[in-house]
Amino acid sequence: MTQLNAIMPGGGISRRSLHIFILADCSGSMKIDGRIQALNYAIASITPQLINWEKEQEQAQIFIRAVAFADNASWHIQSPEPISTFNWPPLSHVEKGLTSMGEAIRLVADALSPEKFEPRALRPVLLLITDGKPTDVDQFEIGIKELFANPVGKASIRLAIAIGQGANFSFLNRFINDADIPVMVAENADQIVVKLTAATLAISKMSSIGSDRKEVAEQVIMPEANELGVLDDDTII
């Protein structure tokens, strides 16, 4: 830590923010094989990893937000929660609930709009976890359009975890919109933790790669110990 204590002009300084948005499927099928419980457990178990990473990299303050979607989508955690004090409030599946994935993407796209998203934040991370496909396909189309029309949404790192064989890769690939980054597949509830851990490592791998999505992809495919580095090395548009 610096020992500098000069009186500064302005309202104070702080590290930049890294916002992680979790888009979590709570449709009826998430009750199969205890998927929703596994999802809750997985998110709770990656929290300490993110806390440690925040301490180690000393560059960014990590904040979590979450959207839950079933018959419709709503904020599960609307205000950015600092990872250092974060406790995951467990989600429940909605009995016979649909998969309003499009509506969820639209909520996040709106939160990333220039009027709402802090300009100095690092590129946000969007993590979509689902066992199905959108039942609101029209909203999905609008949501994807809104997300990529938004400069922050376009710049975001997008990852997707498909649970089981019911997830539709074509929709998830359109959400990721990067041929280098594959959908992570959790064959069963136990693998949700494994894949979410891989996703966390991929996020932390951003530390050593700046804006290179390919490195994120490699981390998704083959997780390895992350190195510390520069989170946001500027490059040209």
**Angle at 17 (CA atoms; ends 141, 3), nearest 5 degrees:** 170
Please give the size of the binding site for another protein, defined by CB under 8 A: 40
Each residue 190-229 as x (binds another protein by CB under 8 A) or -, in order, gives --------------------xxx---------------xx
Each residue 62-101 as x (binds another protein by CB under 8 A) or -, in order, gives ----------------------------------------
The distance of closest approach from Cβ of residue 134 to another protein in the complex, given in angstroms and rounded to an integer, is 26
45 binds another protein (CB under 8 A): no
Nearer to another protein, 28 or 229 (CB): 229
Among 206, 21, 47, 199, residue whose Cα is nearest residue 116: 21
Burial class (CB in 10 A: 0-12, 13-18, 19+), 114: exposed
Nearer to another protein, 133 or 205 (CB): 205
13 binds another protein (CB under 8 A): yes
Radius of gyration of the chain (CA): 17
Q: Which of 85, 165, 170, 235 binds another protein (CB under 8 A)?
A: 235
The distance of closest approach from Cβ of residue 3 to another protein in the complex, given in angstroms and rounded to an integer, is 9
Tokens of 140: 């999905």
Q: Which of 79, 119, 138, 165 binds another protein (CB under 8 A)?
A: 119
230 binds another protein (CB under 8 A): yes
Nearer to another protein, 38 or 83 (CB): 83
**Angle at 49 (CA atoms; ends 47, 52), nearest 5 degrees:** 110
Calpha distance 21→64 (Å, rounded): 6
Calpha distance 210→206 (Å, rounded): 6
Report DSSP state, residue 62.
Answer: E
Nearer to another protein, 14 or 85 (CB): 14
**Binding to another protein (CB under 8 A): which residues in 137-196?**
151-152, 155-156
116 binds another protein (CB under 8 A): no
Beta carbons of 23 and 69 less than 8 angstroms apart: yes
Any residues with CB less than 8 A from the CB of 110 and at least 6 apart, and which? 116, 146
- What separation in angstroms does the CA of 187 have from each of 35, 87, 130, 131? 11, 26, 12, 10
7 binds another protein (CB under 8 A): yes
Which parts of this chain interact with another protein (CB under 8 A)? Answer: 1-2, 4, 6-16, 58-59, 114, 118-120, 122-124, 151-152, 155-156, 210-212, 228-237
